[in-house]
Structure 1
Amino acid sequence: MLIDTHCHLDAAEFDTDRPDVVRRAQGAGVRSIVIPAVCRDNFQTVRDLAASLPGGAYALGIHPLFVPRASDSDLAALEDLLRAWRDDPRLVAVGEIGLDFFVPEVSTPELRARQEHFYVRQLDLAQQFGLPVLLHVRRSQDMLLKHLRRRPLIGGIAHAFNGSFQQAEQFLERGFALGVGGAMTFDRALQIRRLAAQLPVTALVLETDAPDIPPAWLGRDAEGRLQPARNEPAEVARIADSLAALRAESRDAVIAQCGRNAMRVLPKLDALLSSL
C-alpha cells in the first residue's frame, strides 16, 4: 500500500500537467495521495481534487506560513466546512497546521503568538470533530508538544520531522507517526537519516510534500550542485527504496508497514481505501 501522506497536488506548479503527474504516480504504484489545504482559498480545491482521484484524500487547515494573511473569519469558515463535510469519507484530517519558527518573516514575537493562536484553535477543531492532524514542524517541536499534551486524543502525522530522538518519542507517545520524504535521501541530512534508520518502522509514514522537498536525485545537477526542481508524488516510490536501504529491510516490507501506519493514524483513510 504505497501512500503519499502529504502532497500539495493543487499547487500552481502542477497546473500545466496535473493529469500526467497523477498518471505517473499511479504508474509508480501510488495507491493514495493525501492533499492538505494551506488556507481558506484552497479548501474547496483540495476537496474537489481528492474526489477526482481513486485513492484521493484531503485535509483542511490553515498553514502557519499563511497565518499572517489569515483572519479569525477563516477559522470560522474552517469550522463550518468541517461540520458540513464531516461525513465525507475523503476528509481524513485537519491540516496542514502547526508552527514555523524557521522562516524569519513569520517568526517575529507578534507573528509567533499569532501562529500559536491559529494552531491552538485548529487543534481544538480537530478534537471537536474527532480528526487527527497533519502537523507542520519546523524548529517548533517543543511548542507543538506543549499544546498536544493538553489534547491527548488527537494524533496524526508530524510532517517532514527533523527533531531529536526524545522529541520523536514524545510525538509517538501521543499517537503520531513521523513523515519521511525527500530530505531523508540526502547524505548530509544526518539527523533525519538516523531517525529513519533507528526508529521503529511502525513510527514512519512516507510522503513527498510535492512540489517541495525534492529528493536527492531531483535536487542536484550533474556536478552535484543543488538546483531548483519540482517534486512529484511518483517519487514516493523511490523514497521508499531509500528508506528500505537505510534500514537494511526489504522494500515491500517497508511499503507495507508504512501503509499500515498511515491508515492507523488516519483512520478515515483506512476506511476509504478498504472501500475501493
Structure 2
Amino acid sequence: MQLIDTHCHLDDERFDTDRSNVIRRAAGAGIQAFIVPAIHAESCRTIHDLQQRYDLIHPAYGLHPWFCDKHREEDFALLAELLGACVAVGECGLDFGLCNTDAETQLRWLRPQLQLAVDFNLPVILHAYKATDMIIGEIKKQPGLRGVVHSFSGSRQQAQQLIDRGFCLGFGGAITHPHANRLHELVRQLPLSHMLLETDAPDQTPYGQRGKRNEPVFIIEIIRQLAKLRDMDTNEITDICNANAKELFNL
C-alpha cells in the first residue's frame, strides 16, 4: 500500500532522538507522505528546517489555540512568509475543552489564519474540540475556504454541514478503540470521498499500541479498523483516502 499520514507532528521533541528511524520505518511500510502541521512560531521554523532534510515531509504552518499565550502579532507575518511553500494553513482552530483561553482570544488568532488560507488559496487544517458548531460558523463566513477538521469527533449532522462546505474529516487512533461505538457508527455512515487518514503522532496512539509513543507507521492499524468497520478491502480504503489527500493538499 502507498499511504499518506495527513496529520502527524514529526517536529515534536519526542522524536528528537530517533526521528530518522521513525521516518524510515514508516517509509518501509509504504507511507509516501507526511503532512506535518505547525502549532506555534517555533514549530513553524522547526518544520521548515525538517522539510529541507526529509523530502517526504509536507509542511503546514499555523498557530494552535493551545498556545495563545505564546503567539505574537508578528507571527502572522511569519506565516505569510512561509505559506508560499507549504500544503496548508494550520494547525489552527478552537478548543473549549482542553484549553483555558477564552473564546474571544482564540477567535482573534483563528480568523486571520482563515483569511490567509483564502488569500493563498490553501486548505486549512482545523482543530475543533467541543467547538465544532462555532468552527462551522467561522467557515461559513469565508466563502471558498476548504480544508479538514482533524480528529473529528462531532455529530453526524455537524459532519454533513462540513461536507456540504467541501471539507474533509480526519480520523485516527480513536476509531481503533473497541468501545468507541458512536464514532464507529459515524465512520460507517460518512462518505469515504470526504475522509482522511491520520495518526496525530506522537499522540492518539491506536488501541493495539496503547502505552507506546504513537508514530506514523501505526496508520496501518487505523486503515485496518476502517476497512473492518466499512466491510471493505484495505487497499480500496487506502486508494480512496489517498486520492482525497492528494486532491486537498495538491500533492
TM-score range, shorter chain: over 0.9
Q: In the alignment, what sits opposite 2:208?
A: 217
Q: In the alignment, what sits opposite 2:150?
A: 159
2:97 to 94, 97, 102: 102
Pairwise mapping of residues 63-102 of structure 1 onto structure 2 (< 5 A)? 63-82=64-83, 86=84, 88=85, 91-102=86-97
**More displaced 10-residue stretch of structure 1: 57-66 or 150-159:** 150-159
Q: In the alignment, what sits opposite 2:177?
A: 186
Q: 5+ unaligned residues in a row in structure 2: which ranges?
A: none
Alpha-carbon displacement from aligned partner over 1:17-41 (angstroms, at most 9, x marks no partner): 1111011101111011010000001
Do 2:171 and 2:197's aligned partners in 1 also have CA atoms closer than 8 Å? yes
User: 3-state DSSP class of the match of 2:226?
Assistant: helix
Do 2:39 and 2:91's aligned partners in 1 also have CA atoms closer than 8 Å? yes
Q: In the alignment, what sits opposite 2:246?
A: 263
1:195 aligns with 2:204: no
C-alpha distance 47-171 of structure 1, shift in aligned 2 (>3 A): same
Q: In the alignment, what sits opposite 2:216?
A: 233
User: 3-state DSSP class of the match of 1:187?
Assistant: coil
Q: 5+ unaligned residues in a row in structure 1: which ranges?
A: 220-226, 270-276
- Tell me the TM-score normalised to structure 2 length: 0.96
Give me the identity figure in percent.
Answer: 41
User: 3-state DSSP class of the match of 1:255?
Assistant: helix
Do 1:58 and 1:92's aligned partners in 2 also have CA atoms closer than 8 Å? yes
Tell me how far 1:55 sits from its aligned partner: 2.6
Tell me how far 1:13 sits from its aligned partner: 0.6
User: 3-state DSSP class of the match of 1:217?
Assistant: helix
1:26 & 1:104 partners in 2: Cα distance? 34
2:156 & 2:125 partners in 1: Cα distance? 20
Tell me how far 1:105 sits from its aligned partner: 2.5
Q: Which amino acid aligns with 1:27?
A: G
Tell me how far 1:104 sits from its aligned partner: 4.8
1:122 & 1:56 partners in 2: Cα distance? 22
1:243 aligns with 2:238: no
Q: Which amino acid aligns with 1:22?
A: I
Tell me how far 1:260 sits from its aligned partner: 0.4
**More displaced 10-residue stretch of structure 1: 151-160 or 250-259:** 151-160
Do 1:30 and 1:237's aligned partners in 2 also have CA atoms closer than 8 Å? no
Q: In the alignment, what sits opposite 2:33?
A: 32
Do 2:89 and 2:113's aligned partners in 1 also have CA atoms closer than 8 Å? yes
Do 1:35 and 1:50's aligned partners in 2 also have CA atoms closer than 8 Å? no
Q: Which amino acid aligns with 1:174?
A: R
Tell me how far 1:195 sits from its aligned partner: 1.5
Kindly tell me the number of residue pairs found equivalent between the two proteins.
250
Q: Pairwise CA RMSD of aligned residues?
A: 1.2
2:243 & 2:135 partners in 1: Cα distance? 25
Do 1:206 and 1:258's aligned partners in 2 also have CA atoms closer than 8 Å? yes
The ranges of structure 1 where at least 4 consecutive aligned residues each deviate by more than 3 angstroms after the TM superposition are none
Do 2:151 and 2:169's aligned partners in 1 also have CA atoms closer than 8 Å? yes
**More displaced 10-residue stretch of structure 1: 53-62 or 127-136:** 53-62
Q: Which amino acid aligns with 2:114?
A: L
1:20 aligns with 2:21: yes
Q: In the alignment, what sits opposite 1:272?
A: none
Pairwise mapping of residues 135-146 of structure 1 onto structure 2 (< 5 A)? 135-146=126-137
1:168 & 1:98 partners in 2: Cα distance? 16
1:4 & 1:164 partners in 2: Cα distance? 24
Task: Indicate the structure whose relative CO is greater, using CA pairs within 8 Å and at least 6 residues apart.
Answer: 1
Q: Which amino acid aligns with 2:193?
A: T
Pairwise mapping of residues 105-120 of structure 1 onto structure 2 (< 5 A)? 105-106=100-101, 111-120=102-111
Tell me how far 1:69 sits from its aligned partner: 2.0
